[in-house]
Structure 1
Amino acid sequence: MQRSILAMALAAAGLWGAAQTAAAGTVTVITSFPKELTTAYQKAFEAANPGIKVEILNKNTTASVAYIRELPEGQRPDVMWASAPDAFEVLASYKLLQGAPEVVNRSAPEKIGNYPLNDPKGMYYGQALAGYGIEWNTRYLKAHKLPVPKEWSDLVRPEYFGHIAISSPSRSGTTQLTVETILQGEGWDKGWTQLLQIMGNAAAVTDRSFAVPDGVNNGQYGIGIVIDFLALAGKYSGYPVDFTYPSMTAVVPANIALIAGAKNADEAKKFMAYTMSVPGQQLLFDPKIGRLPILPYSMLKPPAGYPVPQDIAKRAKVQFNTELSGQRYPVVISLFDQMVTFRLKELQAATKAIHEAAAALKARPNARGGELLAQARSLAYTSLVGADNVKNPEFLELFRKSRRDVAVSKQLTGMEQMWSEKARANYERARQLAEEARGLAK
């Protein structure tokens, strides 16, 4: 019996040791990237590193940040991999990232335009490059006799009503970056006015960023506001789509970082280094991935006519401020949801009435009608949070606090409900004023 117990104990110890070895050979990566990209890297890395497995935990960027924050040290994923640099700033501010400078590929440039490729504080590193812009379906635009949009300002025009799609920034880190790029380029108040005008023309606000290019690729939507790699993947895969970078854009790194308290830091660092190596960078040109690499094209084999990141950066008018974006990150996504995502029908109705009134007043000008139309536009297209408020440290700090705190949750929920109701009332009043203005032009 003693021999049997000893044998069982040894067997159990052996199984436990094997389990520990298996765990030690697994890199858990939390990422918002699509399956096409993660599967390609997973297979390539595992083939180059026998004995190390890659486990992909797919969540949108906002959910990834929340997930990492809620887990104790020792239970967190090993690697954070996403496009939004401000999400990494948020994680770094909570001391949830760990420096790993040895993974950096020194052949990559230090900057893209004037923007640092890697975090100056050494907490996260550029693994690919991304710009933000406009995708369109060439057949759809031809069928609807729509001109090709080139700038964000084009999308406020009435002919694009009902033809545009975007994802919610609370569900998509890349959309949050696009929204923030417009806000930084135009300024907070003017930027929100432009965003709300564009959103009034939107046909849909989707749950995930992938749904926008998928919809443009299949002709469900004519125009999509997307990150470049989602559009390029469609273009180079043969869909009837094209893409442009507006002048009011930015080229910023998509980042990768070691999470503080990672279970398998050594294996995680190997994975991170692989994504920045020549083989890892060459994978970015796969038609199903379509991303811009950090390494010079002289070290790689890009497809003919592939966008050159440095050229785009030289033309871009926005010098993206990651720190500013990180500070107001939760405010922007919450405000967008309350004013747009959850009130899209009301915003669409107000915008439709404004377009119709503007057309009627153009044909038959009326002074009173013009005043009413101006009031309607102001109500529909003014942010509920002004530029001064968003600079208030106490206001920003409230949104950084955990909603697990009952008092904090109650305060934030009350504020968001107030925004939602105010937006609904403003859009309804804007619609009424626009319809009254239109009536004066008859």
Structure 2
Amino acid sequence: MLPNASAGTVTVVTSFPKELTQVYKQAFEKANPAIKLEILNKSTVQGLSYVRELPVGQRPDIFWASAPDAFEVLSGQQLLENVSGQANKAVPEKVGSYPINDPQGLYLGQALAGYGLMWNTRYMAANKLPAPAQWADLAKPVYFGHAAMSAPSRSGTTHLTVETMLQGEGWDKGWNQLLQISGNCAAITERSFGVPDGVNNGQFGIGLVIDFFGLAGKYSGFPVEFVYPDVTSVVPANIGLIKGSKNPEEARKFIAYSVSTEGQLLLLDPKISRLPVLPPSDLGGKVPAAYPNPFEIAKKAKVRFDSDLSEARYNLVSSLFDQTITFRHKELKEATQAIHLAAGALAKKPNTNGQALLKQARDLAFTPIAGSGLAGDKNFLALFTANKKDAAAGKQLTGLEDRWSSQARDNYARAKSFAEQALATAR
């Protein structure tokens, strides 16, 4: 038999953009001429469903995505094979306090990622906006209509960003901040790519993004800057071998390649601009000057990301965001704008009645409909993870989401009314 005669096509399910996957596909196929990579681009949530629904022997080979909680879902459902034999021994055990490779060997860290803010320097100058440094900055009136983010239900990387904020600030304060920031946003985009694309081309001033979107824009020559807020975390983007796939042996070769020195250097391509799991000292002096060092960022990061907590409330976070922000964004924006106008007027002409009305408006608009008590209730969380074929559970969840949506609409309308009354007292 000829060498590699049994080699076939390795199917990769990934949420990563084609700018990244094409570079890896070309380099790997050049190094392994008998193996072809087939890339199936799906959002993390779509990818998980796709893998789960296929029978043994028909599944894709590799799952490659940024969300560590997605790999916890796959491992919990026994859908991953052990890949510890493909690990690169030079990769450190941890970044900060977070393991880079799964301690059970079911997936490997392939790149590192943090979360932050990117902005278009020309847009900011034209609109006389200061550069933001922290998440909380984006709640300020000056940024109204200038920012954008995507929905966590549509983007695994946005889910990680939102969960990082919730873990860093605590559930209630975190949602209060998220609602204020979302109220200031010009748009909640359909896919995570819509945010960096919009910032790169000047459609939006500021975007809440995973770091590689901001860094890729900057190092590809767009007028873009990026910053990590204090409330951030550094976690691995992972790669794993799906149990019951068609070509596991060839797939193992790609996994090993992706974490090899050669594979890690591809992350420094300006179009990709991701943070390698290998320390900069192991990359032969090829890391660009001023390129972020994830191991240093992790030391300063205030969040010790808990992927078990994130996994437990994954569907709750997505649902609550959609019902109170994504689907009610117009109403939330209107309430937020009214609150800003009232606050500005009352700062110049303060009065007790106006301040009381403004507080009522803020409480209605920016208090989460589901508080920390519910978020920590296992029975409540079980409603969001029930089998989709369970009609009774589905009906219960749909009813709850409908109530959240209606309550959010009513809260924002009342908040806007109170804010307008507060404004009237300052005239």
Structure 2 residue aligned with 1:243: 226
Structure 1 residue aligned with 2:357: 372
Match of 1:208 among 191, 198, 202: 191
State how 1:4-403 maps to structure 2 within 5 Å: 25-300=8-283, 301-403=286-388
1:23-71, CA deviations, whole angstroms, 9 ceiling, x for partnerless residues?
9511110000000100111111111112111110000111111222222
Structure 2 residue aligned with 1:437: 422
1:392 CA drift (Å): 1.2
Amino acid at match of 1:180: E
What TM-score, normalized by structure 1, do the two folds share? 0.94
Structure 2 residue aligned with 1:427: 412
CA contact (8 A) 2:9 2:36 kept: yes
State the distance in 2 between where 1:22 and 1:146 align: 60
What is the aligned-residue RMSD (CA, Å)? 1.2
State the distance in 2 between where 1:119 and 1:148 align: 37
State the distance in 1 between where 2:83 and 2:140 align: 47
1:177 CA drift (Å): 0.3
State the distance in 2 between where 1:35 and 1:195 align: 30
- Answer with 65-74 or 30-39: which moved more: 65-74
1:188-237, CA deviations, whole angstroms, 9 ceiling, x for partnerless residues?
00000001000000000111111111110110000000011011111001
1:404 CA drift (Å): 3.0
Change (3 A) 1:161 1:101: same
State the distance in 2 between where 1:334 and 1:73 align: 31
Amino acid at match of 2:149: I
Change (3 A) 1:337 1:45: same
- Answer with 91-100 or 224-233: which moved more: 91-100
1:273-332, CA deviations, whole angstroms, 9 ceiling, x for partnerless residues?
100001100000001001000012122111121111111111111010111111111110
1:365-388, CA deviations, whole angstroms, 9 ceiling, x for partnerless residues?
111111111111111111111111
- Answer with 372-381 or 71-80: which moved more: 71-80
SS in 1 for 2:384: helix
State the distance in 2 between where 1:29 and 1:429 align: 48
CA contact (8 A) 1:364 1:441 kept: yes
Structure 2 residue aligned with 1:7: none
SS in 1 for 2:327: helix
1:246-298, CA deviations, whole angstroms, 9 ceiling, x for partnerless residues?
01000100011111212211111111110000110000000100100001212
Change (3 A) 1:340 1:150: same
Structure 2 residue aligned with 1:9: none
SS in 1 for 2:328: helix
Change (3 A) 1:23 1:354: farther
CA contact (8 A) 1:38 1:56 kept: yes
Percent of paired sites with the same residue: 63
CA contact (8 A) 1:24 1:263 kept: no
CA contact (8 A) 2:147 2:207 kept: yes
State the distance in 1 between where 2:360 and 2:369 align: 15
Match of 1:416 among 360, 384, 401: 401
CA contact (8 A) 2:7 2:34 kept: no
- Answer with 259-268 or 234-243: which moved more: 259-268
1:135 CA drift (Å): 0.2
Q: Which has the larger radius of gyration?
A: 1
Aligned residue pairs, count: 422
Amino acid at match of 2:64: W
